[in-house]
Amino acid sequence: MATIMLYLAAAGCLFLLLLNRVLIGMKDGPAKPIAIVFSFLALTGAAVGLGAAAPSAWAIAPLTILAATGLGEARRAWIRWRCRGEPPAARESAAISLHRPITTTDLAVARYELRLPHWRGPALRIAHISDLHLNSRLPATYYRSVIAQVTQAQPDLVFFTGDFVTRVEFAPGLTPLLAGVRSRWGVFAVLGNHDFWAGETATAAAVQAAGVTLLRDRHQVVHAGSGAEVLLCGYEAPDGANGWHRPEILPGQLAIALTHTPDNIYRLSQLGFAAVFAGHYHAGQVRLPGLGALVVPSAYGRRFDHGHFVVNGAHLFVTAGVGAAFPPFRVYCQPDLFVVDVSSA
């Protein structure tokens, strides 16, 4: 029995690796849950069979897998520690209780303070929202309360970083919802992988009809007063990259990139962006107390699953998002929106 458990532990590590790197990134459809279930059953069955029949000398194989997994997690934790940013200056949320694991609509507001030595413009406030996944499972009052929280923050800029819908039939509902967003200098957005899977054209049209500026692999300059400029760039790779070119960042400009997946941070940080806003990961959507997220759709695993990081000098903000996709609920993982106050040092 001990040998079987050893093989099962190794199979679990392999399944989580396959789930994070491949399966969770598959396009939504009937094949996706079938592939996930089949992979789980196949690996579990192989582990039980090998554990029961393999010679004891073969135990080196699962032990090697477990050791490699442990080393990989240690490396991830080290890189994450090196890239850690400042925690929220304040966080407004209901406390998570072990006795109430479902947190699907327990919206939190995380407030960050970002001081940039090279910024010579006025203080500005950014509200960052992602992954609405507008659907009928969550009440309309919940989505309206999210928009109300954005308005209450009195932002200068509002950023949406993709995954407005999971299914295209909900796209028309985006227009009246997003039309309620208020900001001083505008509302800007990029699309996410689910928007492309569901219907890029219909989703983009609904978002733009609400007065939101879609930065479809392009950029726009916002004049912040006193001659200061904010350069906003959209980067929709890998789902919607169509000949994206880095714009010229002029001296004194505050260059900010909006992208759906934080996996793009390494390229964007090397291009000179001061800040990058992203979502996509849902902070894991299902988190276990003491362990955190087990499934994060990223080439880097749980490295940048949620919060504020500094990568090559660029400040990365990864929100947990507002909605839920698959599964259609959150466990010990609150949805949230970020409010980032930017000022000079």
What is the tens place of the pLDDT at every residue in 46-55?
Answer: 888 887 777 7
**Cα(81)–Cα(164) distance, integer angstroms:** 31
Verify that 127 and 209 share a domain, yes or no. Answer: yes
- pLDDT tens, position by position, 263-295: 999 999 999 999 999 999 999 999 988 888 888
Which residues fall within 8 angstroms of residue 176, CB to CB, at 6 or more apart?
Answer: 210
Verify that 182 and 269 share a domain, yes or no. Answer: yes
Tally of domains in the chain: 2
Verify that 14 and 156 share a domain, yes or no. Answer: no
Verify that 98 and 68 share a domain, yes or no. Answer: no
Verify that 145 and 111 share a domain, yes or no. Answer: yes
Domain end call among 62, 81, 100: 81
| DSSP of 271-317 | TT-SEEEE--SGGGSBEETTTEES---STTTTTTSSEEEEETTEEEE
- pLDDT tens, position by position, 321-337: 999 987 889 999 999 99
Verify that 61 and 202 share a domain, yes or no. Answer: no
Verify that 257 and 306 share a domain, yes or no. Answer: yes
Verify that 279 and 228 share a domain, yes or no. Answer: yes
pLDDT for 294: 84
- pLDDT tens, position by position, 121-143: 899 999 999 999 999 889 999 99
**Cα(112)–Cα(308) distance, integer angstroms:** 9
Domain end call among 81, 100, 133: 81
Verify that 107 and 170 share a domain, yes or no. Answer: yes
Verify that 56 and 174 share a domain, yes or no. Answer: no
* Two structure tokens written together for 98: 């072990």
CATH number for the domain harbouring residue 206: 3.60.21
Verify that 295 and 224 share a domain, yes or no. Answer: yes
- pLDDT tens, position by position, 220-262: 999 987 778 999 999 998 887 666 777 888 888 999 999 999 9
Verify that 153 and 192 share a domain, yes or no. Answer: yes
Between 7-11, 144-148, 312-316, the lowest mean confidence (pLDDT) is in 7-11
Domain end call among 42, 62, 81: 81
Tell the burial category of 248 from Cβ atoms under 10 Å away from its Cβ (0-12, 13-18, 19+).
exposed
Residue range(s) defining the domain that contains residue 57: 2-81
- pLDDT tens, position by position, 7-51: 899 899 899 888 888 888 888 888 888 999 999 999 898 888 887
pLDDT for 241: 65
